[in-house]
Amino acid sequence: MTGYTTLFLDADGTIFDYDRGEKFAMEKSLQHFSIAGNSGELLELYRRINNSIWGDFEQGKISAEDLKIERFRRFADELRIKFDPVNFSRIYLDYLSQATFLLPGARQVLDQLKNNFTMILLTNGLSGVQRNRVRLAEMEDYFRELVISEEIGVAKPAPGIFAKAWEASGSPPREQVLMVGDSLGSDIKGGVGFGLDTCWLRSEGQEKPLELKPTYIIDQITELPDILEGRIE
């Protein structure tokens, strides 16, 4: 057995199938506003804009409140069509908060771990979206607390949000905490920076990072219980 008692789990791309949720919300929103076009291409465009703006958010350059609207303002600009980004954002977030698709095996993993670990959901997502999805997916009982960047005011990898999660988990010795997530830039960098062991959920084709050293690397969340049992080094 490894000596972990506490898990900080990222939400999107680690437990939730965010790509599928985002696709669902975007397709529904485009329909709602009768925006014609190739939905695959529109989604790609939106993802490019959204990734860049979340990068700004993680560096503290834009607030969560502004991010919600600004991404759709840029989306409308690029498409050269007129729609109200405030309204589009409202509809999009409403659909996104209903998107409870989980990654394969995620619920079984949480079921397996819930009795033996204190689990904190530690996410850079938006408050309303994340809380609603956790509730709709009936996942509230797995987590002692949801620690959400929009509520804290700083995002992973900033140490402030890790400190919140750590307090919420009862301030255990840091060597007993494992940060699990799919993002090198926010989950792994932040976890390492806070003095935690980390488990990187790598997506297909991603190379091992040179500058960051995750304690463990897995390709599926279903590998996590074996790591915690000490069966995989």
Q: What's the DSSP call for residue 159?
A: H
Q: Which is nearer to Mg ion, 42 or 180 (CB)?
A: 180
The Cβ of residue 154 has, within 10 Å, a number of other Cβ atoms equal to 16
- Using CB under 5 A as the binding rule, whether residue 22 contacts Mg ion is answered as no
The binder of Mg ion chosen from 13, 160, 193, 225 (CB under 5 A): 13
Whether residue 215 contacts residue 195, with contact meaning beta carbons closer than 8 Å, is answered with: no
Distance (Å, whole) CA 28 – CA 218: 33
**List of residues 6+ apart from 30 with CB closer than 8 A:** 37, 39, 42
Task: Specify the residue, 30 or 64, whose C-beta has the smaller distance to Mg ion.
Answer: 64
| Residue showing the smallest CB distance to Mg ion in the complex | 13
What is the footprint of Mg ion within residues 136-195 (CB under 5 A)? 182-183
17 binds Mg ion per the rule CB under 5 A: no
Nearer CB in complex with Mg ion: 188/228: 188
Beta carbon of residue 11, minimum distance to Mg ion (angstroms, whole number): 7
Residue in 111, 164, 120 with CA at minimum distance from that of residue 146: 120
Q: Which amino acid is at 107?
A: R
* Residue with smaller CB distance to Mg ion, 14 or 30: 14
Least spacing, CB of residue 186 vs Mg ion, in Å: 7
Residues that bind Mg ion (CB under 5 A): 10, 12-13, 182-183
